[in-house]
Amino acid sequence: MKKYFILYRPFLLFLGKFFLVYLVLTMLYRGYLSKTDNGIDGITSNVAVLTEKSAHLIGVNISIGKEYMYYNISYQDKIVARIIEGCNAISVIILFIAFVIAFSGKLKTTLLFILSGSLLIYILNVIRIVILSVLMYHFPEQEHILHGVVFPLIIYGAVFILWVIWVNKFSKYASKTAK
């Protein structure tokens, strides 16, 4: 048994770091959410505001209406979607961070990649909501495909590409294989 622990030590360390970071960040985020007393957390509110401002910036007339536990998104005076806590991309960012730390590199590089990657995911998520809102107006019958397949594929695809870049260019694994 000891032989297998030694043989698979790198993989087991990766799994241990990944799950530890994922659990800690998830617990911290859940703690943050539990302190929300007005029904909508600040991060989700920020995503809603940025969605509206980003849409206006590109000439799309989207408006956001606050309800108790969510924001309604209206396009052409029709409610087309809702922004709830799960729409703020924090769970995706937590997954991204856990993976990067599990395949950590130099501290400064790791922190910069986490910050820039998290910001990119956050911005892509806001853009995703704007595009999804417009498409939901024009193709409401395609809600399941658009919301359940296409847009998760885009956001998780972006995370996967970031992971590939991280592992191949910046992680300790990349520096060992380059020699």
Sign of CA dihedral 128, 131, 136, 137: positive
Domain definitions of the chain by residue range: 2-37+86-174
pLDDT digits (tens, 9 = 90+) for 36-90: 877 899 999 999 999 999 999 999 999 999 988 899 999 999 999 999 999 999 9
Q: What are phi and psi of 104, to 5 degrees?
A: -55, 160
| Among candidate residues 89, 74, 101, the one with its CA nearest the CA of residue 43 | 89
Q: Is the pTM of this model over 0.95?
A: no
pLDDT digits (tens, 9 = 90+) for 141-166: 999 999 999 989 999 999 999 999 99
Residue 59: half-sphere exposure toward Cβ, Cα within 13 Å: 0
Neighbouring CB atoms inside 10 A of 117's CB total 21
Q: What are phi and psi of 115, to 5 degrees?
A: -65, -50
pLDDT digits (tens, 9 = 90+) for 7-36: 888 888 889 999 999 999 999 999 999 998
